[in-house]
Amino acid sequence: MNAVLPSILGAIGKSPIVKLNRLGEGLAADLYVKCDFLSPSGSSKDRMVLHLVDQAEKRGELKPGGTIIEATDGGTGGALAMLAAVRGYRCVFVLPDKVSHEKIAALKAFGAKVVVCPTAVEPDDARSMYAVAKRLATDTPNAFYANQHHNLDNPGAHALSTGPEIWEQMEGQIDVLVSGLGTGGTLMGAGRYLKSKKSSVKVVGVDPVGSIYYDLAKSGRVTKPFAYKVEGIGADFLPSTIDLAEIDDVVRVDDKECFLTTRELVRLEGLFVGGASGAAVAGALQYARASQKKENIVIVLGDRASMYLSKIFNDDWMRENGFLEDDGLGMVANLLKDKSDAIIGAHPSDRVRDVIARMKAHGISQLPVVEDGRLLGAVAEVDLLRYLVSGEHSLDSSVGPLAESDYATVSPRTSIENLQGLLNNARMAIVLDEGSKIVGVVTKIDLIDYLAKRAS
Catalytic residue positions, numbered: 45
Q: Dihedral of the CA atoms 404, 207, 146, 16 (nearest 10)?
A: -160
Q: Dihedral of the CA atoms 25, 26, 30, 34 (nearest 10)?
A: -40
Q: Report d(CA 264, CA 86) in Å as an integer.
A: 35
- The DSSP annotation for 84-120 comes to HHHHT-EEEEEEETTS-HHHHHHHHHTT-EEEEE-SS
Q: What are phi and psi of 47, to 5 degrees?
A: -60, -50
**Range 173-195 burial, b when 16+ CB lie within 10 A, else e:** ebbbbbbbbbbbbbbbbbbbbbb
- The DSSP annotation for 116-169 comes to EE-SSS-TTSTTSHHHHHHHHHHHSTTEEE--TTT-THHHHHHHHTHHHHHHHH
Give the side-chain half-sphere CA count within 13 A for 408: 26
Residue 336 CB neighbours (<10 A): 16
Contact between 221 and 290 under an 8 Å Cβ cutoff? The reply is no
**Residue 321, burial from CB neighbour count under 10 angstroms (0-12, 13-18, 19+):** middle
Answer left, alpha or beta for residue 162, where phi above 0 means left and psi between -120 and 50 means alpha.
Answer: alpha
Q: Give the C-alpha distances (Å, rounded to integers) separating 121 from 34, 99, 198.
A: 34, 15, 41
Is the four-CA dihedral 353, 378, 127, 148 of positive or negative sign? negative
Contact between 147 and 70 under an 8 Å Cβ cutoff? The reply is yes
What's at 87, amino acid-wise? R
Q: Give the C-alpha distances (Å, rounded to integers) separating 185 from 154, 340, 398.
A: 5, 44, 40
**Residue 87, burial from CB neighbour count under 10 angstroms (0-12, 13-18, 19+):** middle
Paired sense of beta strands 366-371 and 296-301, if any: unpaired
- The DSSP annotation for 340-354 comes to -SPP--B-TTSBHHH
Please choose, from the candidates 87, 297, 55, the residue with its C-alpha nearest in 3D space to the C-alpha of residue 153. Answer: 55
